[in-house]
A and B are shown apart, each in its own frame.
Chain A
Amino acid sequence: KNEVEQSPQNLTAQEGEFITINCSYSVGISALHWLQQHPGGGIVSLFMLSSGKKKHGRLIATINIQEKHSSLHITASHPRDSAVYICAVTAGSGGGADGLTFGKGTHLIIQP
């Protein structure tokens, strides 16, 4: 079973700061997902990646398959970015039967 570790667990920053959240996993995967959950809200998929880098607006996700590590970056952070960010992985077999294995999440607060 894959172990997914996220850091930091909690992060408070000022508006405008560059944010980095890290995720590492223990065994090979076929895909890594970054998810966002606002307080009391549902889960939204931000990125799914298996190699390289993806960018969407102010969000950037990177993955290094050899090092079993991914980072989520937020540029020019804003209070509306305050949420829990969750890293999740799917098994290396490529099938869906294992579902997602989740990290414990990073609770991000952006202060104005």
Chain B
Amino acid sequence: GAGVSQSPSNKVTEKGKDVELRCDPISGHTALYWYRQSLGQGLEFLIYFQGNSAPDKSGLPSDRFSAERTGGSVSTLTIQRTQQEDSAVYLCASSLYGVSYNEQFFGPGTRLTVL
């Protein structure tokens, strides 16, 4: 029974480079969430997957952000042409089903620093 895992744990990149963040949810969890935690904005919701489908992508901060999920399991969050304001901790969470009264289990996060 491993928990939610994320990789890398830390990522330092130069402005303008692309980065890919990975999330492995708890086995059997159908719902997966991406959140961002930054000093200025606190915790904010980015995107939700039910299975491989993301019904609403409007929470993504800009069109430089994209996310996908394959096989109902692993998800990747890609940030293209990174900017300094993208520096934050990116958190992934999963829950058994995609209903709001299910407990969400959080991963340890990926700390992204854009120089």
A residues neighboring B (CB under 8 Å): 29-31, 33, 35, 42-45, 48, 50, 86, 88, 90-91, 93-102, 104-105
Assess the A94–B100 pair: CB atoms within 8 A: yes
Is B101 a contact partner of A48 (Cβ separation < 8 A)? yes
**A104, B105: Cβ atoms under 8 Å?**
no
In the complex the two chains form, is A43's CB within 8 Å of B103's CB?
Answer: no
Question: CB < 8 Å: which of A29, A30, A45 contacts B105?
Answer: A45
Q: Contact at B31–A96, with CB atoms within 8 Å? A: yes
Main secondary structure of the interface of A (DSSP, over half): strand
- Are A42 and B99 within 8 A (Cβ)? no
A45 — which chain B residues lie within 8 A by C-beta?
A: 103-106
| A93 to B35 alpha-carbon distance, docked (Å) | 20
Q: Given the complex of chains A and B, what is the CA–CA distance between A31 and B97 in angstroms?
A: 14
User: Of A43, A48, A86, A98, which is in contact with the most chain B CB atoms at under 10 Å from its CB?
Assistant: A43
B61 CB-CB contact with A under 8 Å: no
A58 to chain B, nearest CB (A): 20
Q: How large is the interface on B (under 10, 10 to 19, 20 to 34, 35 or more residues)?
A: 20 to 34
| 18 A/B residue pairs, CB under 8 Å, sorted by A | A29-B100, A30-B100, A33-B103, A33-B104, A42-B91, A90-B100, A94-B99, A96-B31, A96-B33, A96-B95, A96-B100, A97-B56, A98-B48, A99-B33, A99-B47, A100-B45, A100-B104, A104-B42
B67 to chain A, nearest CB (A): 12
**How many A-B residue contacts, CB cutoff 8 Å?**
73
Chain B window 19-52, contacts with chain A (Cβ cutoff 8 Å), 1 for yes, 0 for no = 0000000000001010100000011111110100
CA distance A43 to B103 in the complex (A): 12
Instruction: Assess whether B100 is in contact with A95, with CB atoms less than 8 Å apart.
Output: yes
B16 within 8 A of A: no
- Which residues from chain A contact B93 at a C-beta distance below 8 Å? 43
Q: Are A44 and B44 in contact (CB under 8 A)?
A: no
- Distance between Cα atoms of A91 and B109 in the complex (Å): 24
How far does the Cβ of B37 sit from chain A's closest Cβ, in whole Å? 9
Specify which chain B residues have a CB less than 8 angstroms from the CB of A29 in the assembled complex: 100
Residues of A within 8 A of B33 (CB): 96, 99-100
When chains A and B are docked, how far (Å) is the Cα of A29 from the Cα of B47?
19
Nearest-CB residue, chain A, relative to B32: A96
